[in-house]
Amino acid sequence: MVSLKVKFCSQLKLHPALRAWSFVSAVSAAFICWWIVAEALTPDGVDVRWDWGWRQWIAFGVGLLVPGLLAGWNAPELRKWWFKHVKPDGKTLSLKWLVGLGLFGTLVIAASLIYWQAELLTLDGESVSSVESPELLDITRSTAFSLGAIGAIAALLVGYRRQKSTEDAHQQELDKHAHEVQKHTDEVDAAQKNLALERDKQRAEQISKLHDRYAKAVEQLADDKVTIRLGGVHVLAALAEDWRARDNYRQQQVCVDMLCSYLRSAEHKVVESESASGEASDQIDWDKLKADQPVRKAALECLSEIKRREVEGPEGVWAKGVGELKKLAYGSLGIPSAPLRMDLQGIPLVGLDLHHARLTYLPLESAKLMFADLTGADLTSAKLNHAAMNGATLAGTNLTRTDLSDASLINCSLKGAYMIGTELANATITPPYVGGNGSMDGAIIIGVDFAAAFRVDGTGSSVIIDEETLDSAGDYMDGGEGQSIRRRPLDADDPDDLARVRALIAAAGLGEKSDGDLWRAKRMTISLPERDTRPLVEK
């Protein structure tokens, strides 16, 4: 509606001016045509107005005013007709009108040239019709030459117009193509922006969901039911892996810290002392701790898996040498060997059933593992220095590269244990009962320096041992009752056993060992007495 009003108002403003312009133009054209005809018909020296009376002047006025009035009255319709037929695009003349106007202009120019030349050749007072044939032929020849020159100019103009039209069309195509390209670019940019916004939105939603999962997992850890607490442990472990996949190690550390805090915590109870003073003491409630052992075992295994992924790689396909290279790299930069921190120092695990548990790479310094069942557990590369493991069962336990420095393993069984590259500096190892027969039966002892220990007592049959270990404890080791150790090359008993042991040695990163360095001792007794002072061992 607004556009129609604007158009109507603009037409009201345009039509009066258009009518006035049309009226003046028509009157001027009528006058010029009358003057040309009158000038041609009257002889030289005669006024074209002749000697008119009032009737002639009235006719002359009517001849001028009637075309002007008709043109002024029909100016809008003439304008519409002009732009519909003469200038369809509103800018240039149509081809037929251009040709027609060109022909009309040519005729006008030819007539003007002929008349002008005839006027020059005639004397004053003579009519132009008195020109003779030779002169008329010269006039026609010069007029034709002039028209030819004008035609050449017209041809140049037509060629210029054609070239300009072609260039304009080409430019329009280029502009159209550029517009389409720009439009496509804008659409792509808009799509990319929308995609980025959508990704940011999804990322924010996912992070919010991860935080919600963390809050629910913490609530589960505080629940009274074991199964719910167990679910909370697994949720926190999964969250730690999800944050690691997003390269957000800070949030991964938060999940790990929560699991470590749970393992360090233990309910206490007030116990009256049996001493004469009768003072009460605050002690750990071992019964409730034992009831919580499924949750604590799961938490330890989850932390071990997180640590293993950090050291060995996400899929466990990295060689252990890569982990060593990482340690060297971190060491050269003056930062800890691993960015992930686990504070498990001194955690209470007394009497817990941890058989076949996977506890690799865990930092369990000063852990309380008295009377814990670690049968078949995997303690590869775990740090158990200063750990209290008195009365623990270590039958079939994998102690490859385990750090037992200053650890107490009093009354412990090591039957079938894998002690490959195990660190025993200042450690104390005694059998589970007096005499200790068979405390190391079937054990694999490779690359162990017993001489660095504080005290070692134990006996075992069918023990697989290497020459390096025999040399380190030669003064404290025999075959029982003072006899020399009866041993045979390992490959002489079972070639498959030799291949298994060599694979274990390679996995531990102890390098190559020749077949002659590996032995099976029929019976072995080691008795390293307790020292007066703990030896200083260079690590």
pLDDT band at 282 (very low <50, low <70, confident <90, very high): low
In this structure, the answer to whether residues 384 and 482 fall within a common structural domain is: yes
- Residue 162 to residues 91, 168, 174, 175: CA-CA distances in angstroms? 15, 10, 18, 19
pLDDT band at 405 (very low <50, low <70, confident <90, very high): very high
More confident residue, 283 or 163: 163
Q: 6-15, 161-170, 333-342, 393-402: which range is least confident on average? A: 6-15
Percent of residues, the chain, with pLDDT higher than 70: 78
In this structure, the answer to whether residues 155 and 256 fall within a common structural domain is: no
Cβ(372)–Cβ(394) under 8 Å?
Answer: no
In this structure, the answer to whether residues 250 and 382 fall within a common structural domain is: no
Q: 168-177, 316-325, 425-434: which range is least confident on average? A: 316-325
Residue 212 forms part of a structural domain: no
What was the pLDDT predicted at 435? 54
pLDDT band at 270 (very low <50, low <70, confident <90, very high): low
Pairwise CA distance, residues 66 & 64, whole Å: 6
Question: Is the per-residue pLDDT at 327 higher than 70?
Answer: no
Q: 40-44, 259-263, 448-452: which range is least confident on average? A: 40-44
Residue 204 forms part of a structural domain: no
Pairwise CA distance, residues 180 & 60, whole Å: 62
In this structure, the answer to whether residues 304 and 244 fall within a common structural domain is: yes
Question: Is the per-residue pLDDT at 442 higher than 80?
Answer: yes
Question: Is the per-residue pLDDT at 348 higher than 60?
Answer: yes
> In terms of residue numbers, what domain contains 318?
222-266+285-328
In this structure, the answer to whether residues 261 and 306 fall within a common structural domain is: yes
Amino acid at 144: A
Give the pair of three-digit tokens for residue 14: 């345009």
In this structure, the answer to whether residues 393 and 299 fall within a common structural domain is: no
Query: How many independent structural domains does the chain possess?
Result: 3
Residue 184 forms part of a structural domain: no
In this structure, the answer to whether residues 29 and 97 fall within a common structural domain is: yes
2 in helix, strand or coil?
Answer: helix
Residue 206 forms part of a structural domain: no
Q: 136: buried, middle or exposed (CB in 10 Å: 19+, 13-18, 0-12)?
A: middle
pLDDT band at 422 (very low <50, low <70, confident <90, very high): very high
Residue 173 forms part of a structural domain: no
What was the pLDDT predicted at 72? 75
In this structure, the answer to whether residues 366 and 455 fall within a common structural domain is: yes
Pairwise CA distance, residues 9 & 420, whole Å: 102
In this structure, the answer to whether residues 310 and 397 fall within a common structural domain is: no
What's the gap between Cα 239 and its chain centre?
Answer: 20
Pairwise CA distance, residues 380 & 418, whole Å: 9
What was the pLDDT predicted at 204? 87
Q: Is 0.85 topped by the overall pTM? A: no
In this structure, the answer to whether residues 311 and 399 fall within a common structural domain is: no
What was the pLDDT predicted at 316? 47
Q: 25-29, 244-248, 405-409: which range is least confident on average? A: 25-29
pLDDT band at 12 (very low <50, low <70, confident <90, very high): very low
Q: Which of 118, 141, 165 corresponds to the end of one domain?
A: 165
What was the pLDDT predicted at 160? 81
Q: Which of 142, 165, 188 corresponds to the end of one domain?
A: 165
What is the average per-residue pLDDT within 172-182?
90
- Residue 403 to residues 164, 343, 443: CA-CA distances in angstroms? 91, 16, 18
In this structure, the answer to whether residues 239 and 374 fall within a common structural domain is: no
Give the pair of three-digit tokens for residue 111: 């007539």
What was the pLDDT predicted at 312? 81
Question: Is the per-residue pLDDT at 458 higher than 80?
Answer: yes
What was the pLDDT predicted at 1? 46
More confident residue, 422 or 64: 422
In this structure, the answer to whether residues 510 and 429 fall within a common structural domain is: yes
Tell me phi and psi for residue 282, to 5 degrees.
-100, 115
Q: 117-126, 185-194, 298-307, 495-504: which range is least confident on average? A: 117-126
What was the pLDDT predicted at 317? 45
